[in-house]
Chains A and B, each alone.
Chain A
């Protein structure tokens, strides 16, 4: 009995951590504490040495502090924080609306296009959903949109932010899977656009078939003269387009690393705020406080997770995980992949993406490394970027799936009082369905993910 306990210590540790995490204490502490506790138990049974705890600092140093890629995290958060406060996003939404006023369901289409484009520079789920909801929701409801369609559109558009580069989640995923951030960025671009395309066709379809759900924007809306029209376009779309080109363009063209392009993006965002005369000291301090707060939070989680995953590995967790999966009959590569996908999807309800990336990915990474999808992908080296996109799409789906998806709660906090939680749930269903279709497409046609990194030469 005791032997069984000691042999399966890593597995017991993983399961214990899972239950303890629900008591609502800070996640980093639960991770760190269970690492420490099971390290001590391991020491008592002679399978772990106390001096091994000293490795935590070396791991934290080599893998987190001295990692040039992770420097892009505060920079991207900072860029988003400046954009959010400088009002450039609002200008852009009105410009897109005017541009698309003759398209069926123009307002919803504008929100979706906006979500897709804005996703790139913001890269933060909460901020994008809240912003879109605050700006676009009242307008959609006022023009007589069906409230469920309006809710679904805003939530789906906002969550694209975690998928379309340069999303911070992709940086962390790339780091955890030990693959290049540039390749993951490129691999996630097309799936993001495919999803956005699916949403758009759905919205336009609804607008054509049931015009009462998505009324047209009246012709007298927006600027009436040509000069005024171009002025709105230039000021609305110009800055964001410029920012997206410098950030993504510089990565794909190989001029700058992900980190450097993030800094350039920050500078661009500040420049835009300055042109709009919105770059004040108050705004800048607020943006910096927010950035540092979120950055500190991410990295403290890293510190806790380092302790957990190190002890897990030291107790032989890697091999144990593979053996356990095999014991339950999950041993072919597709079964393992689907198992991990379902697990990540289910975990996406109670957890934020960052916890999933830091807990689940390190535990399953060794299993993943043993999988050989060369027959499906064409080359073994293509696996990690492809897998990263699958995880990203999967997590994005989990975020908007009722009843626990995080986006739904962001929505609830910002929608007008007339909209109930049940409206939000019902509004999400069609989009969740499209999301599952999108995930299926990415699984079955890996070319969707791999085409862009391949032509950009980021895979070799």
Chain B
């Protein structure tokens, strides 16, 4: 069990590194959007240079960046227990009972669902890769498989997050570890949006 917990800690760290380094894309996203807005506003003044900027490419880049942002964060989100729960009716139950609920929920709901999504997600990406898919827009970005690949990696990271929490719950429920040792986090999450 100890080795498994060490693995869980390592994968937590791995997810954290990916999440914390990808968050700078937020700044990139902001800059790309502002650049796009400013150039379009100034285009009538400098028609020679700015009228032919690759605007559709820029606009596609905006949602590409956003897709990367949430793909790289979903798994980490679950590991740090940043998921909304409706727990006003169970918050008085013991931690052990709530850990059992979470354990069954993972086994019956979350892991099978992610398995199905990943199973078809591979095909989703593969189709894009072999057909060398490009944007639907005539002037859009090429290499659509890159961002679809990132989305697919996001699904895998989510699965990794689920397995990490599963190991921790098992250590707590069957391995005789305390909640702190196993790093089990089940408390209420305030959704700040």
Residues of A within 8 A of B (CB): 21-30, 32-37, 53-54, 56-58, 60-61, 65-68, 70-71, 73-75, 77-78, 124-127, 168-169, 255-256, 259-260, 262-264, 266-267, 288-301, 303-304, 307, 350-352, 354-355, 404, 410
Contacts and interface: CB of A to CB of B under 8 A. Distances in A.
B36 to A, nearest CB: 7
14 contacts: A25-B85, A56-B116, A65-B66, A75-B29, A259-B62, A289-B20, A289-B23, A292-B23, A295-B70, A297-B189, A301-B84, A303-B117, A350-B88, A404-B88
Interface residues of B, number: 64
A389 B83 CA distance: 27
B124 interface: yes
B106 A29 contact: yes
Contacts of B27: 288
Interface stretch (B1-9, B45-53, B71-79, B170-178): B71-79
B34 A263 contact: yes
A264 B37 contact: yes
Interface string B125-155: 0000000000000000000000110010000
B37 A355 contact: no
Contacts of A77: 193
Nearest to B150: A65
B85 A168 contact: no
Nearest to A267: B34
What are the 9 A-B residue pairs with the smallest beta carbon separation, nearest first? A33-B109, A296-B73, A263-B33, A24-B87, A25-B105, A26-B83, A54-B120, A299-B70, A24-B90
Given A36-B109, A267-B34, A68 B63 contact: yes
B192 interface: yes
A78 B151 contact: no
A53 B191 CA distance: 29
A74 B73 CA distance: 12
B13 interface: no
B34 A298 contact: no
Nearest to B74: A300
Interface in B154-193: 158, 189-193
A267 B84 CA distance: 29
B30 to A, nearest CB: 5
Contacts of A71: 29, 33, 62-63, 65-66
Contacts of A299: 70, 73-74
Nearest to B186: A24
B83 A74 contact: no
A350 B121 CA distance: 33
A33 B108 contact: yes
A256 B59 CA distance: 12
A133 B147 CA distance: 42
B63 A30 contact: no
Given A294-B192, A301-B84, A66 B109 contact: no
A256 B38 CA distance: 10
Contacts of B158: 300, 303
Contact of B86 (A24, A125, A263): A24
Interface string B85-99: 111111100000010
A297 B77 CA distance: 7
Where chain A touches its partner, the secondary structure class is helix
A192 B87 CA distance: 30
Given A25-B109, A33-B113, A291-B23, 11 more contacts: A24-B87, A24-B101, A30-B109, A73-B193, A74-B26, A255-B37, A262-B33, A267-B30, A297-B82, A303-B158, A354-B191
B113 A75 contact: no
A352 B24 CA distance: 28
Given A26-B83, A75-B30, A259-B33, A61 B88 contact: no
B91 A61 contact: no
Nearest to B27: A288
A74 to B, nearest CB: 6
Contact of B101 (A25, A78, A404): A25
Contacts of B34: 263-264, 267
A124 B192 contact: yes
Contacts of A24: 85-87, 89-91, 98, 101
A69 B90 CA distance: 36
Contacts of B74: 296, 299-300, 303
A398 B80 CA distance: 29
Contacts of A256: 37
B83 A28 contact: yes
A67 B117 contact: no
A69 to B, nearest CB: 9
B192 to A, nearest CB: 4
A7 B193 CA distance: 38
A65 B69 contact: no
Contact of B121 (A57, A263, A267, A410): A57
A416 to B, nearest CB: 20
B193 A296 contact: no
A271 B53 CA distance: 26
B178 to A, nearest CB: 21
Given A297-B83, A352-B191, A354-B84, A66 B63 contact: yes
Contact of B110 (A29, A68, A291, A296): A29
A27 B105 CA distance: 10
A65 B87 contact: no
A351 B147 CA distance: 33
